[in-house]
Structure 1
Amino acid sequence: MNKPLDPALQAGNHKPLAGYQAQHFLWEVKDGVGTITLNRPERKNPLTFDSYAELRDLFHNLKWATDVKTVVVTGAGGNFCSGGDVHEIIGPLIDLKAPELLMFTRMTGELVKMMRVCPQPIIAAIDGVCAGAGAIIAMSSDMRLGTARSKTAFLFNRVGLAGCDMGACAMLPRIIGQGRASELLYTGRSLGGEEGERWGFFNRLSEPEALLADAHKLAADLTAGPSFANGITKTMLHQEWAMTIEQAIEAEAQAQAICMLTEDYGRAYHAFVAKQKPVFQGN
């Protein structure tokens, strides 16, 4: 029998988020799946300074949230996210000096960092408009479900900015390839849903009315799996971008040895012997 976790250690490293009350988007946790809904449908769910910061902080805190195993990100009203709000972000940025502009761009980049280092797999459910920072949030997720009518655009070039925003030049080529990423980042054109699936940006397409249910079904499947091991998989997928093959093989050897110490590994073996489906508990 396992010894109970030291209360002091638990207090500093367990932060349940099921009861978190979001201020600038919707947040709900059900059966271990946390759902973020960008909820300004009248403007196609644009981001503000406040929502950027709150999203950053939520993904940061997910590192300690043992009651959340998987995250779904979606948008209300038939669109995912139209990017930074023209009136609440784009306009004010014109009048800022370099230190404040760098503060903003570092904040937006920190959101991507927190999405990549939180241990929970993130599934983006993308319908309709997915542009600018919305496309970056989709890109930064671990998996993407789309619809045929979705339109994804890394449109920074179209507003006089470089395509190298929030990690796009590093991450997008790894998802769809260098040439295709270059086309999207140089032109800012929209990537349709069916083309996005062919290019590998979307894992698969759903009908609009089934999109969120399909995303939650995938999230539930992941949540029912070995969540500790899934977190290790996400960590290695992210960290191995900067490793040689030799370094990656050694890192994976160490990671897999750690997973072999988990009780979930033993549960899987005993279930196999008994010809049953394992019931994972994330430890």
Structure 2
Amino acid sequence: MREYVHLLVHEEGAALWVTMNRPDQLNALNPVLLEELRSLFSELYLRRDVRVVVLAGAGRAFCAGLDLKERRSGGFSSTGAHLDYQRGISEIVIAMRRCPQPIVALVNGAACGGGFGLALASDVRIGTPSTRMNAAFIRIGLSACDMGVSYFLPRMVGSSIAAEFMLTGRFMDSERARELGLFSRIVEPDVLEDEGRAFVKDMLNATPLGLRLTKEALNCAVDAQGLEAVIAMEDRNQVLCARDDNYKEGIASFLENRPPNYS
């Protein structure tokens, strides 16, 4: 595991806990933090020892979006150079969806702009009463379509509600987010980590292969051409899982009412 400047990263068994650590800046995304997030999620693709990822922000915010005080200065030499820089940012959410580990986001406080994108790119989101999210890009002279927000949000809440928040930059509080299905739970900040651990524990009851293939199939089902395409993916997954060495242990642990011991 590499050393990071703005990320706190530690492993607990098969779970990787990742905390954005710029609390005095509300974990705003400066160039170093952007590179570290992109690198971490890209490297997870080939790590089979990590089965679940928990993403959080230190202090009183999840992530306030791009750090405008540390944004790249001096402009770009060309449109192509600017596009390369932009794609370096958007690659983070692509890597988050591509990595086979489910990502549990502990979203406390502000999740704005890029922070909103990070939350939406996660698989499970848990909020607190102080959580506030918005597509802040449109409030700083940009389009609200950034870091996958225009892909994730309409698929999760529908086109009209997505347009409401993206065209205005309005804030969405935790209760509205839960009503819309964006949050699985809303808990007090002092039990947010415990709630994350409960999700990790339940996810680790799945076989390593079953967990990875479930995330993969969910990703594909969102954009599948129809029911038959989804069923084909499901059938493939079930056959692969049933032929995996851990399948018998999964059955045995269920019948014996005990925690599984997967190889």
Q: Same fold (TM over 0.5)?
A: yes
Separation in 2 of the partners of 1:279 and 1:188?
A: 46
Q: Residue 3 of structure 1 aligns with which residue?
A: none
Q: Residues 191-230 of structure 1 correspond to what in structure 2 (within 5 A)?
A: 191-230=172-211
- The answer to whether the Cα contact below 8 Å between 1:128 and 1:149 also exists between their aligned partners in 2 is yes
SS in 2 for 1:247: helix
TM-score computed with the length of structure 1 as normaliser: 0.87
Question: Deviations along 1:172-226, whole A, 9 cap, x unmatched?
Answer: 1122222111111111111101111111111110101111221122123212422
Separation in 1 of the partners of 2:194 and 2:137?
A: 31
Question: Deviations along 1:78-106, whole A, 9 cap, x unmatched?
Answer: 110011111112x62x7224222201211
Q: Residues 201-280 of structure 1 correspond to what in structure 2 (within 5 A)?
A: 201-244=182-225, 245-273=227-255, 275-277=256-258, 279-280=260-261
Over the aligned positions, Cα root-mean-square deviation in angstroms equals: 1.6
- The answer to whether the Cα contact below 8 Å between 1:20 and 1:27 also exists between their aligned partners in 2 is no
SS in 2 for 1:74: strand
Separation in 2 of the partners of 1:68 and 1:132?
A: 28
Shift of 1:51: 1.5
Question: Deviations along 1:245-273, whole A, 9 cap, x unmatched?
Answer: 21111122112111111122212333445
Q: Which runs of 4+ in 1 moved over 4 A?
A: none
State the identity %: 32
TM-aligned CA distance change 1:47 to 1:272, over 3 Å = closer
Q: Residue 37 of structure 2 aligns with which residue?
A: 55
Separation in 1 of the partners of 2:206 and 2:224?
A: 27
1:71 aligns with 2:53: yes
1:133 aligns with 2:114: yes
Separation in 1 of the partners of 2:130 and 2:5?
A: 30
SS in 2 for 1:225: coil
SS in 2 for 1:279: coil
TM-aligned CA distance change 1:265 to 1:278, over 3 Å = farther
Q: Residue 95 of structure 1 aligns with which residue?
A: 75
TM-aligned CA distance change 1:32 to 1:268, over 3 Å = closer
Count of aligned positions: 261
Question: Deviations along 1:98-138, whole A, 9 cap, x unmatched?
Answer: 22220121111111111001111000001111101001000
Separation in 2 of the partners of 1:278 and 1:75?
A: 30
Separation in 1 of the partners of 2:80 and 2:176?
A: 39
Which one of the candidate residues 110, 113, 124 is aligned to 2:94?
A: 113
TM-score computed with the length of structure 2 as normaliser: 0.93
SS in 1 for 2:126: strand
- The answer to whether the Cα contact below 8 Å between 1:75 and 1:126 also exists between their aligned partners in 2 is yes
Shift of 1:170: 1.4
- The answer to whether the Cα contact below 8 Å between 2:207 and 2:250 also exists between their aligned partners in 1 is no
- Unmatched runs of 5 consecutive residues or more in structure 1: 1-18
1:29 aligns with 2:30: no
Which one of the candidate residues 122, 127, 130 is aligned to 1:149?
A: 130
The amino acid of 2:242's aligned partner reads M
Which one of the candidate residues 122, 147, 162 is aligned to 2:143?
A: 162
Separation in 1 of the partners of 2:2 and 2:205?
A: 22
Q: Residue 82 of structure 1 aligns with which residue?
A: 64
Separation in 2 of the partners of 1:205 and 1:272?
A: 29
